[in-house]
Amino acid sequence: MKPGLKTQIDHFITWLEVEKRYSSETLRGYQIDLNQFLTFLEGHDIACVKDPNQIDRTVVRSFLGHLSGDLGLQTRSVARKLAAIKSLFKFMHKEGVVSLNIAAYVHTPKLPGVIPSYLSEKQIVAVLESLNSSDSWMAKRDLAIVELFYSTGMRVSELAGLTGSDLNRHKGTVTVMGKGSKQRVIPVGQYAWEAIDDYQYALKKKFGERTGEHALFLGRNGQVLKPTGIRLRVKKAIKAIAELKKMSPHVLRHTFATHLLNAGADLMALKDLLGHENLSTTQVYTHVQVDKMKKVFQKAHPRAGKK
């Protein structure tokens, strides 16, 4: 008899970690979503838990209905959890655990067009200036973090994984390890370099000489600053200046992308800078170009109906 669903989920998570080399944050997300699916099945159909072959499209749809109806989750959250289930079944089908990948036949709910939260140029300057008001080594660290986010648009997991050797001061670039263990090289702006130099000098005075193999960003006691800590620092910095629904490092990633497009950057170049696999992911930022075109139209067209 083949192992039940819980064991298969464990095998799948291990495969993502070892073979796909997904980040700890991504693995945690998969684990949470799939454990929620497992818990649902334990309360509704224990046969499906014992034998994944017993799971059919109706069972998966019931789970999605439970998420949106009973729990009131947004469409985007439901779609993410379904994506995790689809990945699990694709894995189990490939491993011969299930005879049919039934999840592939479950329709993904249509996502609403959501414009990402981002800071205006005036707001991001205010955030950076507010962080530049103290000489403590941790204040210099926080400024370097925000400057680097805004200069490169990297993900929080990528920034948390940086070491000193990932920085190339001579070429003015930083090498990051993106999703699926894909490396990419991103240019770093002068203001970010100055903030990093100030931080590293203060760090040396606090903890002594460090090699390039050590983590770049440290916590209060010299331990590696984890993504959770980075999020807290960024949220605090943004909250002091702007009122946004979301104040995560992803806001700085959106700000980076939006400001580049505002200045006329090419969408394909932005795709490479952000580390997106598909152009469709990057196209969420084209709202900026649409807004600019509307302003040009209203200003220039004689029949635009402007007052």
Q: Among this protein's residues, is 233 annotated catalytic?
A: no
From 226, 235, 276, 287, active-site residue: 276
**Cα(34)–Cα(37) distance, integer angstroms:** 5
From 2, 50, 179, 226, active-site residue: 179
Residues 6+ apart with CB under 8 A from 232: none
From 81, 86, 141, 250, active-site residue: 250
From 30, 118, 199, 285, active-site residue: 285
Q: Look-up: residue for tokens 């414009």?
A: 115
Instruction: Provide the b/e sequence for 189-211 (b: ≥16 CB within 10 Å).
Output: eeebbebbebbbebbeeeeeebe
Q: How far is CA 194 from CA 68, 126, 136, 167, 197, in A?
A: 47, 17, 16, 13, 5
Q: Among this protein's residues, is 307 annotated catalytic?
A: no
- Enumerate the H helices of 211-286 as residue ranges: 227-239, 249-262, 267-274, 279-282
From 253, 254, 259, 271, active-site residue: 253
Tokens of 26: 């991504």
From 155, 233, 254, 271, active-site residue: 155
**Cα(301)–Cα(297) distance, integer angstroms:** 5
Contact yes or no for 234/97 (Cβ under 8 A): no
Q: Among this protein's residues, is 155 annotated catalytic?
A: yes
**Cα(74)–Cα(109) distance, integer angstroms:** 11
Q: Among this protein's residues, is 253 annotated catalytic?
A: yes
Partners of 173 in the beta sheet?
168, 187
Residues 6+ apart with CB under 8 A from 143: 128, 131, 132, 195, 198, 199
Q: Among this protein's residues, is 22 annotated catalytic?
A: no
- In the chain, what is the greatest distance between 2 CA atoms, to the nearest angstrom? 75
Q: Among this protein's residues, is 179 annotated catalytic?
A: yes
**Cα(228)–Cα(218) distance, integer angstroms:** 12
Active site residues: 155, 179, 250, 253, 276, 285
